[in-house]
Amino acid sequence: MKVPIEKVAIVGAGTMGRDIAQAVAMGGYKVTLYDINESILKKALDLITENLDVGVVKGKVSRQMKENTLNNIVVIDEIMNVTGDLIIEAVVEDLQIKTDLILKLETINRDHTIIATNTSSIPITRIASHLKRPGQIAGLHFFNPAHIMKLVEIVSGSETGPEVIEALREFSKNIGKTPVTVNDSPGFIVNRVARHYYVESLKILEEQATDHQVVDSLLENFGFRMGPFRLMDLIGVDTNFAVTKSIFESFHFDPKFQPSRIQQQKVEAGHHGRKTGKGFYEY
């Protein structure tokens, strides 16, 4: 039975979660944004307001749309209140953390609730295997920055119901996104193709062929909007590293996906990119 998506909850108010919340709220949906940390929720609202203000200045967002968007978002720090027709999980790229969280979300929600994970690399079937309702979970992978980027990958696990995929396609279009349906495979489409944009660039650094500024400059002048090192800083060096490790493991440690020691050192030093003020560049 098809149940219309009216109430949406986002779990995780970090970079992706808050931008997804903004995109969904701008699409006219009522959004509950959950995080265990109150300070992160406050920061999320401040940054969403800042994004909307930039949109107003550029003439891409009306003042009324800004007001409506902010009115559509409610923040909470109690997980038992995370209920809705669609729950979008946007926490760290860790199988155990995601699985434990989604199990809890399944328990407190109704049978018709769709649980979508924003994972960029973890197989949906692997997560679904732990659930009582594996047909109600799918991947809904947004791209950073989620309130701007149009593409969304909708990933079907082996048990995902076709009505769930159709509902997510309709929802994605309603919030102004371009959905692409993908079968469950490591890295899906975009991250599998893009992985070497990062991995090969990092190998150039390891081999000391040149520095990261030169690589970025060359690729940007070649036509890419953002070089790999600037892009890793935007996404989060830690997030990018986690995705690379996940894909490396999923392909049975194929050397062509091997994570970089340089990137690992950045993560261990806490140099995660723009969100920490330092990554491959300083901010």
**Which residues are the active-site residues?**
120, 141, 153, 191
Q: Which of 111, 151, 122, 128 is nearest to 1 (CA)?
A: 111
* Tokens (6 digits) for 112: 């018709």
Q: What are phi and psi of 274, to 5 degrees?
A: -60, -35
Distance CA 21, CA 30 (A): 9
CB 105 within 8 Å of CB 80: no
Write the burial class of residue 43 (CB in 10 Å: 0-12 exposed, 13-18 middle, 19+ buried).
Answer: middle
DSSP 87: E
Cα 189 from Cα 40, distance rounded (Å): 31
Angle, helices 190-206/237-250, rounded to nearest 10 degrees:
110
> Would you give the DSSP letter of residue 144?
S
